[in-house]
Structure 1
Amino acid sequence: MAHKKLISALAFFSVALIALPVAADVLPPQQRTNGSATLQPLEPLRQSASSSRVAIGQSRDATLSGVFVAEDGYILTKASEAEQFKPWKIFLEDGTDLDARLVKRDQKLDLLLLKIERQGLKAIEWSQTIATQAGDWLCSLTDSGRQIRLGVLSAKSRNIPDSGVVLGVLMGPNEDEDGVLIEEVAEDSPAQLAGLKPADLVISIDGEPVTTNKMLNQMVNSRLAGDVVKLRYLREGNPGECEVRLASRSRVMMNWGGEDFANGGTSVRTDNFPKILQHEIPLQPADMGSALYNLDGQAIGLNIARVDRVTTYALPADLFSEDLQSWIKEDRERELPVGSRQ
């Protein structure tokens, strides 16, 4: 019965979209895509999707999105954003919170699989064979699942190449070769967020001495976006230490150009994906790890990177669903008593 009501509501929404040009003289421009009147028919989908969504963090004040992918407590989310929320707690709709353990981190897809001890949960059912094309309407949850937002698939599915990872600094010449001199720090970069300043002299990363610009670049690029490195430096001759969470070069360079300030921020990792769905739903970095739906209420992908104020990438379900089932199966077998394993 609930499924029929959802389909009926979504059918009404499709008619409403067709009628939008007629209503354009009535609705203010800001209300025509994500206004309350436009989104009301999607309320059944929001309620249904919310029951599969979770919040991941150390407290309810700062969380990342995730989705249940099995009824016995397996949760999928974005790996590079989840690192900052360790140790992980899962906050459920009923007000309870549970500790989560790590099952699998997939670096290629930037996915993290977690597990809580709870049964009878509503898991996402992925639709792997749904054809999509540019211009199709899609929707996703935001604001901790309290709201649903609309947008369109804005480009063909494609791969996003690796641009490397960076601190977000411009390095200057250092004739003494006793460290790497920071000449400039990009706004909203990993370096700025960690408290680094121009004229700081970087002397080591994770305990390894750094003496040249080339050495620093090599050490940073051997890591992944989202990795945290411990950096030691000198400031006016005084030693200091900080932790820096590395980000994709493309993300830092975009912000360095001033394109994304005051627009809700971007994800730490925004590239190096073998296949993505690009859409324009207005989301936040904290919404990554949530499911992407078509207007039939089918989950077709997982939001994986907020790239700029009008662009979000999602991993299509057919890219990860088979591996996901293998990770879950392997973990269940590991957790069985030794005598009952096959």
Structure 2
Amino acid sequence: MKLSPKNLSTSVRFATALTVLFFFAPIRCEGQTATNKNETGSESETEDLKESSDEKASTQTKRTISPYPVVVLERDANFSIPNASAKPAALRKTVTAEPFLPKEIYQRTAQPILDATELIAEGFQQSVVEVRLQDERVALGTVVSSAGHVVTKHSLISDTPFDQIHIHANDQMWSASIVGVDQANDLALLSLRSDELMPKETLRAIAFTDSQRMATGKLVIGVGTDSQSLAVGMTTAPPTAKAMERDCETCIDMGLTLSPSLQLTRVYPRTVGERLGLLVGDRLISINRKPVLNQAQFDRLEQSIQVGDLISIAFQRNGQASEITAKVPELTKISKRDRWGGGPFSKRRSGFGDVIVHDSVVDPLDCGGPLVDLQGKFCGINIARSMRVASLAIPADSVQSFLLEHLDESELILE
């Protein structure tokens, strides 16, 4: 039989009706079921009064398998659809913040340590001075002799005329001059002028102890001229550690890539090499009059270059020998991961000898001050804020060795 459009439309309507009847027939509501039971009275009259409560519950929550969930009016019974209005008991409970360390435990442990650090720092504040260039404070200094000699960070005062360096403490000012320098550890020894004496009742020299080298994990205190510059931290590397080597991301370097024949194959932007005017194709001959024979020798010479140094580089360009002399610029490039949340940093913060690495937050202007431990012993001189989680100090024995090159042993306080 041939279906006409009219017959086809009727067939489609009939099939649709059967589909709806098949899918929606199982869906029912308990309220509607109860109404139907009351109308007929068949089940209410014949139901067994001794039916168990479990069977009643089973009858009330009976479900029919179908493509759609059965509607049950009991709360939380429709598990097919998550009920966001009914929160689990764990989420309904109010969450209250509790202190990591209970107050009574804190008062017995942490507070005494803080009190002890303040007392120790107060005992050393008479050994700490401000180093000023005219009226501007540029660093801290540590009194190291009975005659009033002071040790500070050299690179912060290296380009200063001798008559502009002053030592300030307790509202008093003294003129000073540089009498000794340790380039490797960036230390400078200052001496008061002969016509000016530092009163002993105002300041006193720090004592050097014959103690063993500090272990990792020891609490240390960076002492300043007042409580505002107090820094407390922990040693994170032994004093035999070397300051972090320079690389393209964290420190000044030449910024050069060499071929085996010592010809420049790349000059990185914003580096010493670019500022000196070196070009790709130049062949290195010497650095600071020392011949460059291979890559390893170039690396050693490069690592000896410090911020502010005057360097001379001889090279060959297009068959002709040339030489450039310039001053190494200040350190300005710092890796993002070390710069985040940690600055400011010291301009010179690498290339030292043995250093004590600790995590105290030392301001660059507080370099030159003493680092002490909880026993009240002098550990070293804070010399640089190296990165976000590391400050560096020159160990006490290195400081003492430097002083004995310029002072008599009788001028130092040795314990």
What is the TM-score when the length of structure 2 is the normalising length?
0.53
Which of 296, 299, 303 matches 2:375? 296
Gaps of 5+ in 2: 1-99, 258-265, 290-300, 313-325
CA distance in 2, matches of 1:311, 1:114: 27
2:17 corresponding residue in structure 1:
none
Secondary structure of the residue aligned to 1:51 is helix
1:123 corresponding residue in structure 2:
205
The answer on whether the counterparts of 1:171 and 1:184 sit within 8 Å (CA) in structure 2 is no
Which of 174, 178, 190 matches 1:98? 174
1:178 corresponding residue in structure 2:
none
2:270 corresponding residue in structure 1:
185
The answer on whether the counterparts of 2:370 and 2:381 sit within 8 Å (CA) in structure 1 is yes
The answer on whether the counterparts of 1:60 and 1:91 sit within 8 Å (CA) in structure 2 is no
Pair 1:54-2:54 in alignment: no
Which of 133, 136, 139 matches 1:64? 139
Distance 1:164 1:214, change over 3 A: farther
1:119-165 residue CA offsets vs partner (Å, 9 max, x unmatched): 43410112231453221111112476643221111122324168469
Q: What does residue range 107-122 of structure 1 map to in structure 2 within 5 Å?
A: 107-117=183-193, 118-119=197-198, 120=200, 121-122=203-204
Q: Give the AA of the match of 1:116.
A: L
Identical aligned residues as a percent: 18
Residue-pair matches, total: 271
Q: Give the AA of the match of 1:280.
A: D
Shift in Å, 1:106: 1.4
CA distance in 2, matches of 1:213, 1:268: 30
Distance 1:39 1:201, change over 3 A: closer
1:339 corresponding residue in structure 2:
none
CA RMSD of aligned residues (A): 4.4
Pair 1:281-2:360 in alignment: yes
CA distance in 2, matches of 1:77, 1:66: 5
The answer on whether the counterparts of 1:63 and 1:85 sit within 8 Å (CA) in structure 2 is no
259-268 or 284-293, which deviates more: 259-268
CA distance in 1, matches of 2:267, 2:112: 51
1:89 corresponding residue in structure 2:
165
CA distance in 1, matches of 2:134, 2:215: 39
CA distance in 2, matches of 1:213, 1:304: 37
Distance 1:216 1:309, change over 3 A: farther
CA distance in 2, matches of 1:304, 1:215: 34
The answer on whether the counterparts of 1:225 and 1:245 sit within 8 Å (CA) in structure 2 is no
> Between Structure 1 and Structure 2, which shows a larger proportion of strand residues?
1
What is the TM-score when the length of structure 1 is the normalising length?
0.63
Q: Give the AA of the match of 1:325.
A: L
Shift in Å, 1:84: 5.1
The answer on whether the counterparts of 2:220 and 2:233 sit within 8 Å (CA) in structure 1 is yes
CA distance in 1, matches of 2:180, 2:347: 20
Shift in Å, 1:283: 0.8
Gaps of 5+ in 1: 1-19, 173-180, 192-199, 205-210, 232-241, 333-342
1:315 corresponding residue in structure 2:
394
Shift in Å, 1:48: 2.2
Pair 1:136-2:218 in alignment: yes
Shift in Å, 1:69: 0.5
Shift in Å, 1:170: 5.3
1:23-50 residue CA offsets vs partner (Å, 9 max, x unmatched): 49989xxxx98xx996344333222222
- Bigger RCO of structures 1 and 2 (CA < 8 A, at least 6 apart): 1
CA distance in 2, matches of 1:38, 1:215: 58
Which of 225, 233, 239 matches 2:306? 225
The answer on whether the counterparts of 2:125 and 2:224 sit within 8 Å (CA) in structure 1 is no
